[in-house]
A and B are shown apart, each in its own frame.
Chain A
């Protein structure tokens, strides 16, 4: 069972606020919920949508059809009319919107209610919530609870007024039932289908950005430096708000160049640190990334992707920075790029990113995108607790005291990793984080042999990460191969990375239900790729790349890294690059049309 509810209207009228309250309510009622919001890059006057899907099983993507659409304006309806089915319900403003099509249309007297209560446009959303709940056949007590929680900070008067308006919406539906048989039947049907689950699993509602912030604190990061940029900005706000509780130093600095160079100051001094931005801000950071590579400083860089180039589509989604991220920074140095598939993945991989940065003493990049960064998802609290209780910081060869004398910061070693002494504690030894090529003792050098030795040492860390060289330390923590899902005999395999995971898995399930076997290969450790990954690709199978970009960037990375010819032709690519996330139905439809062609 899954149900999509969508509300849209003018930006600045509380649509996302009420939407989030609804997502949380669904979660508290025992459902799994996921929401996705679209809004323009302006504060007022544009068009905002909030789409919510709730289900009795975990979900982290929406679907193509809308089950209940609230249309407050004509464009709310026009934009989504094609997503309505005969089973859909449309609640619409009877004074504003003209409808056409075969679905269950229920006119709502928004204007009359507004006049009656002298209510502001923002309040109209509450009327819609009341009406929606009546249609779902849910208890009115659930609305009471939602309003009490959501408006707790705003005082009793606001709570009471919202309840009153929700009741208006609720009552209107109850009145409609008496003379609308179709509606009554529908409600009876939904009441059964949308009954909140009896067994309630404790869950929490988080965005990908929340998850990154949360896991950063869990990893023991001492600092976060950033300049605001959509869609990464909420990480800065969240961590800044938490400072009194986490003790983290959170800095909103003058630009992204400063963000990474300050982060490297923290890293040199021994503090776990991250910086965050989107593609444009990351472009300003790349010289600093190269410095981290040369001086072997651990830093986590969080990138929430949006469509570029340049300012691009600031508030929309894309997976278009993969090639940029893996190639970022002048010169040759190891870097690790991770791309979580969903919110739980984000928690796990963020923890791992901090450990990898410390172990390999090199930058680790986390690629998120608007779809993952800003969508809310309900995740099982038990899973989070398990991850948290299992987690133990692994700082690799970063130490507070050294037994070496003289201390050689960049001492050559079989795994390429040298001991990093946290400066300021040892009364004798000191070293420099040198942006110049250096000798083992960290002094500047221009000597040929030193240059070769250090260059090879740095690149050896890559091999250690990929598992080719044993890591002489604690348990190996490094590259993880892609995860395969579905029927192992499937002749067609969808290949995806990062946030397109859920939609691709849904597409697989839809095709499976139609008797068509496909598998899914999902990459989270997108760069570098272990040579052994090559063996996962069967030359007799067809691989179709599902990506939120126009060039099938992962396919390029695989061709470059593994030397196998996959995903280079249009027929083997399912791509979306209009700023919207790929949905399961997009994948199924494109797959069908491409299969017909071939």
Chain B
């Protein structure tokens, strides 16, 4: 099937995002990444979280779950282990993935589950109309922090790398080509991958604007060695001084994904394709 046809198949309703929202660039990039890999709606499984980004459930066709807030990662893991030959993505915002569901992210990283987490990081809560987010810069004034936020901002890249994620990339919603390349690389990686997408919220975040990101981001050059974890950690710490490197910060080349550590999944036959019920004669011996 032609790439144009796949894109057509992938396209659902016209999005309801604000004009100028970073999500427009991201959905374009997602369709690009999927279609370039020849993946249509029935080839992939996607767990959409709750939020403006998660609302993509109706705009992007796929086998999908529109999960509970913060729970896209656990649902994605369930789908992956049930159907491990398929590509599985979790799509959510910084509130869902780094706040409400932060615990799941840590454990998905250390489990090296073979899912791709596409994080829309707009440093604010959009769908609930402008409260502070885990990634908001310290001191940011929002509806829920009129005196300025007190907490440090989460450092998603450092967090993921330190907890065992085997692929960590950052990109900027303005550059759909780059976002698509990062998502593709993440999907092709065997193991847990996080793509943190810096995304301006034009309605509720007047600090981290397109202009802000143009000034605070830079692309990692070809000389950058993504295989070094210490280097990647060092890069990720630039976050503290509001510098955001774009590109693949870290990729572990010999990563073994979770499902391949399970003997019963080291086969092409997925759990859901197995019709046979187990022979339980061993159990009656065990219980006598």
Contacts and interface: CB of A to CB of B under 8 A. Distances in A.
Contact of B78 (A27, A206, A269): A269
A512 interface: no
A552 B249 CA distance: 60
Given A249-B81, A268-B75, A287-B68, A243 B264 contact: yes
A135 interface: no
Contact of A265 (B77, B262, B280, B288): B77
Nearest to B272: A270
Given A269-B83, A429-B42, A443-B58, A28 B65 contact: no
A248 B61 CA distance: 30
A431 B71 CA distance: 19
B288 A204 contact: yes
B278 A245 contact: yes
Interface in B171-201: none
Interface in A236-263: 242-249, 251, 253-255, 257-259, 261-263
A264 B42 CA distance: 19
A243 B68 CA distance: 29
Given A258-B74, A424-B272, A431 B67 contact: no
Contacts of A254: 103-104, 106-107
B107 A258 contact: yes
A203 B277 contact: no
B24 interface: no
B282 to A, nearest CB: 5
A261 B61 contact: no
A429 B76 CA distance: 20
Interface residues of B, number: 52
B66 A423 contact: no
Contacts of B288: 24, 27-28, 202-205, 381
Contacts of B86: 424
A506 B81 CA distance: 47
B78 A264 contact: yes
B67 A261 contact: yes
Which of A220, A249, A381 has the most chain B CB within a 10 Å cutoff?
A249
Which of B48, B67, B76 has the most CB atoms of chain A within a 10 A radius of its CB? B67
Interface residues of A, number: 68
From B55, B67, B78, name the one whose CB has the most chain A CB atoms within 10 angstroms: B78
Contact of A291 (B13, B68, B76): B68
Interface in A380-436: 381, 384, 388, 393, 422-424, 426-436
A232 B2 CA distance: 52
A214 B67 contact: no
Nearest to A247: B264
B66 A247 contact: no
A566 B287 CA distance: 41
29 contacts: A203-B288, A205-B287, A223-B78, A242-B282, A242-B283, A243-B263, A245-B279, A247-B271, A248-B264, A249-B264, A249-B265, A253-B74, A254-B106, A257-B74, A258-B104, A259-B74, A262-B81, A266-B78, A266-B79, A268-B78, A268-B79, A271-B271, A423-B45, A423-B83, A426-B42, A432-B65, A435-B50, A435-B67, A444-B55
Interface of A: 24, 27-28, 202-206, 210, 214, 217-220, 222-223, 225, 242-249, 251, 253-255, 257-259, 261-271, 273, 287-288, 291, 295, 381, 384, 388, 393, 422-424, 426-436, 443-444
Interface of B: 12-13, 41-42, 45, 47-48, 50, 55, 57-58, 61-68, 71, 74-83, 86, 103-104, 106-107, 262-265, 270-272, 274, 277-280, 282-284, 287-288
Which 10 pairs show the lowest CB-CB distances between chains A and B? Answer: A265-B78, A269-B82, A423-B63, A261-B74, A204-B287, A265-B75, A262-B78, A261-B71, A254-B107, A246-B278
